[in-house]
Amino acid sequence: MARLNFQDWMAIESPKVEKALDESLAFVPLPCRAIAAHILKAGGKRLRPLLVVAFARALDYDRDDVYPLATSLEMLHAATLLHDDILDRAGSRRGQPAAHTLFGEAKTILTGDALLAAGNSVTASYDSPSLCDCYARATALTAAGEILEMDSLGNPEQTRDTYMEIAMNKTAALIANACVMGATLAGASPAQTAAAERYGENVGLAFQIVDDALDFAPQSQTGKPCGGDLREGKLTPPIRLFRDSLDPGSRDRFDASFRTGNFDPEYFSGLIKEIGRFVPAALAIAKDRVRLALDALSGLPDADEKQILKQIADYVVARCK
Amino acid sequence: MARLNFQDWMAIESPKVEKALDESLAFVPLPCRAIAAHILKAGGKRLRPLLVVAFARALDYDRDDVYPLATSLEMLHAATLLHDDILDRAGSRRGQPAAHTLFGEAKTILTGDALLAAGNSVTASYDSPSLCDCYARATALTAAGEILEMDSLGNPEQTRDTYMEIAMNKTAALIANACVMGATLAGASPAQTAAAERYGENVGLAFQIVDDALDFAPQSQTGKPCGGDLREGKLTPPIRLFRDSLDPGSRDRFDASFRTGNFDPEYFSGLIKEIGRFVPAALAIAKDRVRLALDALSGLPDADEKQILKQIADYVVARCK
């Protein structure tokens, strides 16, 4: 069989994931379905379900019940987005009005809960408590990561380790559990499951680091205003690397603004430019993580989808929005 | 063995449930634990965990792992309370400041999500996908019931059936699933599981109807202001029965106020008194439900805990707050 490339694979798998997502709406109770459909059908990269599929296939699992399982984590992800847009008072999401601005906060919070439950129902239909456990752990760690992040906001002395702990919880845990769920469905050995987890954690960390670097790319490229993390007091890698480069006087000035979120407009635009110079160094950290992710794949059988997993990892650092 | 009464049984079982609840906090990630402890340790009737225990024991299940399982539904219940107090902008809960007033909305929403996941982790540890499924269904239906209720607020023509559908989802589904989880753990036959569900649904409906009747009891008795449901536009049984008794002119006046929630203060206090006259008729509906619950028990073996289940059902209509 000729080697698949990522685009060809996506052209085959994406429609199957989308169809399964449509069908998974049946697990959402009727009164919550309109809001659930609003967030689920607004698009997205579908990274988590695609990783479930790729990992199961890489371990030679050929049944179609991988698709419903894959949607469970997209429902979890959608639930967290519904709740996050309320927490962040965000007005839009993926170019659409955020759900809470259309349906109200109360119903949006409840639909988030119902989506968490619907994803849970899907995993529970697989007769495998360890799949349920993956799902539950991913949910809990994502929430914990967001709280950790809130507790660190505006702290210019946050360490690199704390940043990594936040990213591991709020982003990488869910992506790692996607890989582990695919592997578990395929009946992976303990070593293969550990490899799936290590690949997913490192892809997830790389994903978050790239996301944070893209905060300093122009809005014309990403669709998001530049420097949002700086204003919100998130000490992401480019900001930390920039701060580390400052002399004590400049650092004091930076810290005072960073703690309060009050930046003189001219100072702010100067900072954006200067921090932008540290984006390549931040991306180098992400690339190191991708290397670790690829290492983790070395023990897996030499399937087509192993190549896809490599290309997904490369895509995570190559993406520009 | 001498027959246990409810008080003696509670004196034995309550401390075991409380101890298991303390231990279950370990399933909540550290950054969420303070908020989770705040809501879990504020007390409560522990009706749902006690039903898990009573049903498992009534079917002759004697192992101690019933207690952690029982706590899963209290965590689910606590999660819904955290979210509800945000939806309702409630300032207090069980005589304590509501969590969101102490910890902020954002962390409280996230801790609700983490508690949903923690309960899910607990059920997933039992190697029984049907327990996970009970848990997921209870979560989804509770949220769906709350959305249904919101859609009916201020509608004076809401039918009795709609009221029952709301109560079945938002309250009875969780209580029924507590009974089903206890039965499932005990290896119940399909007929016994169906009996557990029917008992739980009817106890749950009775519980909600009594709750709604208590809305017209004096604050000195319940600790809550009288007539809150009337002001919020919930057409509960005493309100519906009162409205059904009105002549067309009085009904029009009532409907106009009920739709908007704007009541002239004097009219409001008059209504409270008049609606209070329909509380006994509402309680009669609850008693019918308790009878159905007791009927459902008839096929179960004649264990001590069957007597306890009967007394729990009786307590649900006899309670005064």
Class of domain B153-321: mainly alpha
Top-confidence residue, A65 or A94: A65
**Alpha-helix residue ranges (DSSP H) falling in B158-303:** 160-167, 173-185, 190-214, 219-222, 228-232, 237-244, 248-260, 265-276, 279-296
| Angstroms from B181 CA to nearest CA on chain A | 14
For B60-97, how does the pLDDT look when each residue is reduced to its tens digit (9 = 90+)? 999 999 999 999 999 999 999 999 999 988 888 888 89
The partner residues of B92 in beta bridges, in order of sequence, read B97
Give chain A's radius of gyration (CA, Å).
20
Q: Nearest by CB to B147, which of A31, A87, A133?
A: A31
Instruction: Quickly tell me which residue has 């659930």 as its tokens.
Output: A36
SS3 state at B96? strand
- Do the beta carbons of residue B208 and residue B165 sit within 8 Å? no
| Angstroms from A139 CA to nearest CA on chain B | 6
On the question of pLDDT at A173 being above 90, the answer is yes
Check residue B1 and give its pLDDT.
Answer: 47
For A259-270, how does the pLDDT look when each residue is reduced to its tens digit (9 = 90+)? 999 999 999 999
Check residue B2 and give its pLDDT.
Answer: 54
Q: Nearest by CB to B124, which of A86, A127, A132?
A: A132
Q: What are phi and psi of B96, to 5 degrees?
A: -110, 160
Q: CB–CB of B114 and A140 under 8 A?
A: yes
**Nearest-angstrom CA–CA distance, A204 and B295:** 54
Q: CB–CB of A124 and B129 under 8 A?
A: yes
Q: CB–CB of A136 and B150 under 8 A?
A: no
**Which residues of A fall within a CB distance of 8 Å from B153?**
none
Distances (CA, A) of A85 to A94, A239, B150, B241: 11, 24, 21, 41
Check residue B321 and give its pLDDT.
Answer: 67
* CA angle (A77, A82, A87) in 5-degree steps: 115
For B208-236, how does the pLDDT look when each residue is reduced to its tens digit (9 = 90+)? 999 999 999 877 777 777 899 999 999 99
Burial of B16 (0-12, 13-18, 19+ CB in 10 A): middle
| Angstroms from A314 CA to nearest CA on chain B | 31
Check residue B152 and give its pLDDT.
Answer: 95
Q: CB–CB of B121 and A112 under 8 A?
A: no
**Which residues of B fall within a CB distance of 8 Å from A38?**
none
**Nearest-angstrom CA–CA distance, B173 and A293:** 44
Q: What percent of chain B has pLDDT over 90?
A: 83
> Testing the interface with A: which of B32, B113, B128, B137 to mutate, by most A Cβ within 10 A?
B113
Chain A residue at shortest CA distance from B119: A136
| Angstroms from A106 CA to nearest CA on chain B | 5
On the question of pLDDT at A233 being above 70, the answer is yes
Superfamily of domain A6-318: Farnesyl Diphosphate Synthase (1.10.600.10)
Residues with Cβ < 8 Å from B150, sequence gap 6 or more?
A106, A107
At residue A2 the predicted structure's pLDDT band, cuts being 50, 70 and 90, is: low
The mean pLDDT of A68-91, rounded to a whole number, is 94
Q: State the average pLDDT for chain A.
A: 93
> Testing the interface with B: which of A120, A142, A177 to mutate, by most B Cβ within 10 A?
A120
Name residue B271's amino acid.
Answer: L
Check residue A175 and give its pLDDT.
Answer: 97
- Range in A109-113, A245-249, B8-12 the model is least confident about: B8-12
**Which residues of A fall within a CB distance of 8 Å from B130?**
124
Burial of B321 (0-12, 13-18, 19+ CB in 10 A): exposed
The mean pLDDT of A211-219, rounded to a whole number, is 89
Q: CB–CB of A139 and B113 under 8 A?
A: yes
Name residue A106's amino acid.
Answer: A
Say whether pTM exceeds 0.90: yes
**Which residues of A fall within a CB distance of 8 Å from B107?**
147, 150
| Angstroms from A170 CA to nearest CA on chain B | 11
The mean pLDDT of A82-93, rounded to a whole number, is 90
- CA B210 centroid distance within chain: 11
SS3 state at B234? coil
Q: Nearest by CB to A150, which of B27, B83, B107?
A: B107
- Range in A157-166, A211-220, B17-26, B140-149 the model is least confident about: A211-220
Check residue A321 and give its pLDDT.
Answer: 67
On the question of pLDDT at A319 being above 90, the answer is no
Q: CB–CB of A144 and B112 under 8 A?
A: no
* Buried/exposed code over A94-131 (b: 16+ C-beta within 10 A; e: otherwise): eeeebbbbebebbbbbbbbbbbbbbbbbbbbbbebbbb
Q: CB–CB of B118 and A136 under 8 A?
A: yes
* First-residue to last-residue Cα distance in chain B: 33
On the question of pLDDT at A317 being above 50, the answer is yes
- Range in A182-186, B92-96, B99-103, B254-258 the model is least confident about: B92-96
Residues with Cβ < 8 Å from B277, sequence gap 6 or more?
B242
- Do the beta carbons of residue B19 and residue B67 sit within 8 Å? yes
DSSP state of B159: -
- Do the beta carbons of residue A112 and residue A83 sit within 8 Å? yes
Check residue B90 and give its pLDDT.
Answer: 87
At residue A1 the predicted structure's pLDDT band, cuts being 50, 70 and 90, is: very low
Instruction: Quickly tell me which residue has 């694979």 as its tokens.
Output: A9
- Do the beta carbons of residue B73 and residue B135 sit within 8 Å? yes
- The enclosing H or E element of A96 equals strand A96-97
Check residue B217 and give its pLDDT.
Answer: 83
- The enclosing H or E element of A265 equals helix A265-276
Superfamily of domain B12-127: Farnesyl Diphosphate Synthase (1.10.600.10)
| Segments making up each domain of chain B, as ranges | 12-127, 153-321
Q: What are phi and psi of A279, to 5 degrees?
A: -60, -45
Check residue A42 and give its pLDDT.
Answer: 86
Distances (CA, A) of A187 to A184, A195, A206: 5, 13, 27
Q: CB–CB of A110 and B32 under 8 A?
A: no
Distances (CA, A) of A250 to A56, A256, B31, B92: 51, 10, 33, 46
Check residue A195 and give its pLDDT.
Answer: 97
On the question of pLDDT at A23 being above 80, the answer is yes
